[in-house]
Amino acid sequence: MSTPSTKTATSMSPDSTSGAYNPKEVEAKWTKEWFDKEVFDLDIIPDRPVFSCALPPPNITGNLHMGHALNGTLQDVLIRLKRMQGYSVLWQPGTDHAGISTQMVVERKLKQEKINRRDLGREKFIEKVWEWRKQYGDTIMQQYRRLGVSFSWDRIAFTMDESYVKAIYRAFCILYKEGYIYRGNRICNWCPRCLTSLSDLEVEHEDTKGHLYLIKYPLTEGEGSLTVATTRPETLLGDVAVAVHPADDRYKQYVGKMVKLPLTNREIPVIADNYVEREFGTGCLKITPAHDANDWEVGQRHNLSAPIVIDSEGKLCANEFVPERFHGKDRFVVRKEAVAELEEAGLMVEIKDYEHGVGHCERCHTVIEPYLSDQWYCSMKELAEPAIKVVEEERIKFVPERYAATYLDWMKNIRDWNISRQLWWGHRIPVWTCENEHVDAYETAPEQCSKCDSKTLTQDEDVLDTWFSSALWPFATLGWPEETREFKVFYPTTILSTAREIINLWVARMIFTSLKFVKTIPFKEVLIHPVIQTPDGKRMSKSKGNAVDPLDMIEKYGADANRFWFASVGIKGDQDVRFREDRLDEYKRFANKLWNAGRFVLSQLEGYTPAPIDPQTLTLADRWILHRFNTMLKNVGHAYNEYDFHDATREIYDFTWDHYCDWYIEIAKIQMAKPELKEQTQRVLHNIFEGLMRAMHPTAPFITDELWSRTPKSELFDNYDSIMFAPYPRDDERFFNEQSDAEMGLIMKVIRSVRNIRQTFNVPASSEVEVIVQAENADEKKLLEANVDYVKRLAKAGKVDFELSTLPPRSAWDKVGSIRVAIPLGSTIDIEKTREKLKQQLAATEKELAKQAQIIGNLDFAKKAPPEKVQIIKDQIAELEHKKNSIIEQLKMLD
RNA sequence: GGACAGUUGGCGCAGUUGGUAGCGCACCACUUUGACAUAGUGGGGGUCACUGGUUCGAAUCCAGUACUGUCCACCA
């Protein structure tokens, strides 16, 4: 914002823009311009309203996908809009270290170099990850540039920045000292490939075709047996009981007896527990506390042991519970072998096909193994309470509102959060244990135990769940716990825009952490945008190869066209949107249209000095387009207030193409030819175009900056170096003029009528015709006479006759309300064709008449409908009758 | 199993308080007129998923059904 504005743009030759818009060139030029001038860097302007938001930090392993591009565009539209509206804006960008993902990517890379993480050791490995991050970690930020997003680029944050890490450890220690964080030994979700635990939300349940195995457990005494049902027969080695429902008459007598565990010699008891569903399977449930979360609960209730038979890598353990032949074998291999053995032994009663949900690791898609281990947990119930309240009381609003329910459902049934991960890449849990077994949390590496003299302390091996750090994103990026200026000015942030799939994973956690640590909400509104699916309604995924790369689309259609489409998708419509490339083509053509409109307007401004419009001296068309323009501005402003991007986009698109280009520019050509109207027309043409560029800039920053820079501007804009800092246009009530809309509407209808007749009767486009207009209404007649030039030019009429009371024979005509528009065709008329056309019209009119007659014929309608509605129908009938008679008359004339 | 969405011309979608269905693409015809053929002009095409109900009147309100999609959920 430092260089003076270039008023010389006024004199820019219109020839320098060619016919076709070239997005690539313009985007490259302005990207460079913007970054060279550092226009995006944070600039806190005192005494201004504030608008701020934090970009959901993409993973450093990520590439820009459709979701990023959509969300980025929506936020950028708001940021650019607010900036132009005079707000002090902050859009905090940054990236997430993404524990599991990044570790996976780097491990895979090392594997290609034949290096194993373990051989390397923790420290060396982390060094490798940092190297990787240096090289590739900013890829996605570079990709965002192509979209034209106006982040506060000088403030890119990373969840492993020094100040960010401080925030994490501060947060952890507060929770720890207040007793929210605790160590628990229980069943957790375990990924045998990543070798780490996962939170419930990181497990994807997929319906999988499997089997339900019915296995016989013989009683130790007597002949009988109990048959249990399981989907995972290999886990029976860890069984410690068979449970039945206490009220199940079939099995009551067996409770307390012992059964023999197949494949082993162990004997286990039959117990009774309410958890068992009598209707499911056989009503007998095998209890494997170490390998099933529910069984663990049952085991706890009955004081049962929990033998571990599957290890962290998903292999059978080499211990006394597992027969030697299975030692070290993979769980799925053992499943097959166990099934075979059971069949052999005659203990397999039945194998049923069975479809059920199986948990998979979100990152590597390995089947999750419920695993008994020590993990760090965050106690959630109490922390959730205020977070529920702020949403219930609408201090934080979801847009669309329905997503508040998603959030509240989750929060009200919250379970404790497993925050530890057995990874190397991440924030190491800041808990140290001294040689005297004193455990405590420290914000920085301790020199000495907090509880004794010991100076020998060891830190916990685990790292924090990535989401623990992202939960602090909105305030940690602003410097919390330091009271930085940015923090004071911009926090709480105004909005958060994100995808619905992370409402619980991320949004919920930001809310409760902010309430806990900052004592305030993190943002006022949460915008949830739709998910972009493939054209056939499937989820886009890189691994399935059906994902569309937004960078390819930007390359092909231009960033502005893509942004226009994203904005048109908005957040208020469907919760899923199918990707369609032809939509991008539509907006690409729109950009081209705009470009050419700009070329035309700029070419018409010779000798023109920018000046405001005088509402007093305008023509009908001028008044009309100004009315339309200001109506559009009003609607757009309203739409943005409601976050209705779709509506705003449509308003701009329709105004630009239909009203401004298709009608006003054509009319302007007529007016420009008249010396007395030239300057005024230039003024209207220019003022609207210039304002339109500003109105459109938040959605299409590149093309508008380019065109605006070439557009002459009044001194009012001298201080604005770029359109992005110019004020956003507001509607001016002086230009609202409903009458012009009605009047212009009539003229347009007459023009359309003439065009219609011409084409229906094959009048060559090159020939000028004589048009007869018979207007019964004096005002309408006067209006049409006054604006006859528009009709002449736009309908290609050589002469327009308003006085002829009877039509010459062989005239073709149409009606506009009570006005008859006719073209005498004389010898050129095709009688048969005309007759056929008239008969078609007659049939249509009669059909319509019958429909209306039916409505009016309904006695209840006359009685109960509001009088004005009844009158409307009556008027319509009268008009249709009139039309019908005219057609009949016309047909007679042909004979 | 629960919840939330969607179902309107070939395709993608608009339709704010119920009052004769609109847009873009595609399609047909005409037009290279000095902003734009990535264009202009005109035109054809829909009983608004289905079934009931409320109402003088329903794409619009209510109930149910079907299909599609998403999220949540510890039934082996």
Instruction: Report which residue type is found at A625.
Output: I
Supply the pLDDT for residue A628. Answer: 93
CB A49 within 8 A of CB A92: no
Supply the pLDDT for residue A860. Answer: 78
Q: What's the Å distance between residue A589 CA and nucleotide B42 C1'?
A: 22
Which A residues between 433 and 462 have a beta carbon under 7 A from any strand B atom?
none
pLDDT in tens, A465-499: 999 999 999 999 999 999 999 999 999 999 999 98
Strand B at less than 7 A from CB of A596:
yes
Residues belonging to chain A: 895
Supply the pLDDT for residue A661. Answer: 93
A855 or A548: which leads in pLDDT: A548
CA diameter of chain A: 119
Task: Read off the tokens for A143.
Answer: 């990709």
Supply the pLDDT for residue A343. Answer: 87
Strand B at less than 7 A from CB of A210:
no
Which A residues between 520 and 559 have a beta carbon under 7 A from any strand B atom?
531, 533, 537-539
Task: Please choose, from the candidates A39, A51, A52, the residue with its C-alpha nearest in 3D space to the C-alpha of residue A86.
Answer: A51
CB A494 within 8 A of CB A53: yes
Which A residues between 258 and 287 have a beta carbon under 7 A from any strand B atom?
275-286
Among the listed ranges A168-182, A453-467, A712-726, which one has the minimum average pLDDT value? A712-726
Task: Read off the tokens for A603.
Answer: 């070419």
Mean local confidence (pLDDT), A352-362: 82
Q: What is the strand order of the sheet A267-272 is part of?
A: A258-260, A267-272, A241-244, A284-287
Average pLDDT, chain A: 87
pLDDT in tens, A766-801: 788 889 999 888 999 999 999 999 999 998 888 899
Residue located via tokens 């998708």: A569
The CA-atom distances, in angstroms, between A74 and each of A306, A566, A640 are 52, 7, 11
b/e burial code for range A541-564 (CB count within 10 A of at least 16 → b):
eeeeeebbbbbebbeebbbbbbbb
pLDDT in tens, A414-441: 888 989 999 899 999 999 999 999 999 9
Q: What's the Å distance between residue A863 CA and nucleotide B63 C1'?
A: 29
A487 or A367: which leads in pLDDT: A487
Peptide bond preceding A481 in cis form (omega within 30 of 0): yes
Does position A1 have pLDDT exceeding 80, yes or no? Answer: no
Alpha-carbon distance of A854 to A848, in angstroms, equals 10
Alpha-carbon distance of A118 to A125, in angstroms, equals 8
CB A783 within 8 A of CB A746: yes
Supply the pLDDT for residue A498. Answer: 92
Supply the pLDDT for residue A8. Answer: 34
Task: Please choose, from the candidates A31, A52, A32, A55, the residue with its C-alpha nearest in 3D space to the C-alpha of residue A43.
Answer: A52
A769 by DSSP, 3-state: which?
strand
Which A residues between 556 and 585 have a beta carbon under 7 A from any strand B atom?
573-578, 580, 582-583
Mean local confidence (pLDDT), A396-413: 88
A376 bridge partner residues: A183
Angle at A18 between CA A16 and CA A24, to 5 degrees: 100
Q: What's the Å distance between residue A668 CA and nucleotide B19 C1'?
A: 39
Give the pTM: 0.89
Enumerate the nucleotides of strand B whose atoms come under 7 Å of any protein CB. Answer: 3-6, 11-14, 19-20, 24-25, 29-33, 35-43, 55-57, 68-76
pLDDT in tens, A680-724: 999 999 999 999 999 999 999 999 999 999 999 888 887 787 899
Strand B at less than 7 A from CB of A232:
yes
Q: What is the 3-state secondary structure (H, E, C) of A158-208?
A: ECCCHHHHHHHHHHHHHHHHCCCEEEEEEEEEEECCCCEEECHHHEEEEEE
Does position A14 have pLDDT exceeding 60, yes or no? Answer: no
Task: Please choose, from the candidates A329, A356, A224, the residue with its C-alpha nearest in 3D space to the C-alpha of residue A242.
Answer: A224
CB A278 within 8 A of CB A287: no
Supply the pLDDT for residue A705. Answer: 94
Instruction: Spell out the residues 6+ positions from residue A409 whose beta carbon is closer than 8 angstroms to its own.
Output: none
Supply the pLDDT for residue A116. Answer: 86
Alpha-carbon distance of A693 to A616, in angstroms, equals 25
Alpha-carbon distance of A428 to A421, in angstroms, equals 9
Please give the radius of gyration of chain A, using alpha carbons only, rounded to the nearest integer.
Answer: 37
Task: Please choose, from the candidates A785, A852, A841, the residue with its C-alpha nearest in 3D space to the C-alpha of residue A812.
Answer: A841
A334 or A544: which leads in pLDDT: A334
What is the DSSP secondary structure assignment for residue A363, as one 8-state letter?
Answer: T
Closest-lying nucleotide for A503 based on CA to C1': B71
pLDDT in tens, A213-255: 888 888 888 788 888 888 888 898 889 989 888 888 888 888 8
pLDDT in tens, A510-566: 999 999 999 999 999 999 999 888 887 788 877 777 888 899 999 999 999 999 999
A577 bridge partner residues: A532
| DSSP notation for A93-159 | -EEB--HHHHHHHHHHHHHHTT--HHHH-HHHHHHHHHHHHHHHTTHHHHHHHHHT----GGG-EET
CB A524 within 8 A of CB A554: no
Does position A6 have pLDDT exceeding 70, yes or no? Answer: no
Strand B at less than 7 A from CB of A861:
yes
Alpha-carbon distance of A484 to A164, in angstroms, equals 13
Q: What's the Å distance between residue A705 CA and nucleotide B40 C1'?
A: 28
**What is the sign, positive or negative, of the torsion defined by CA atoms of A394, A395, A401, A402?**
negative
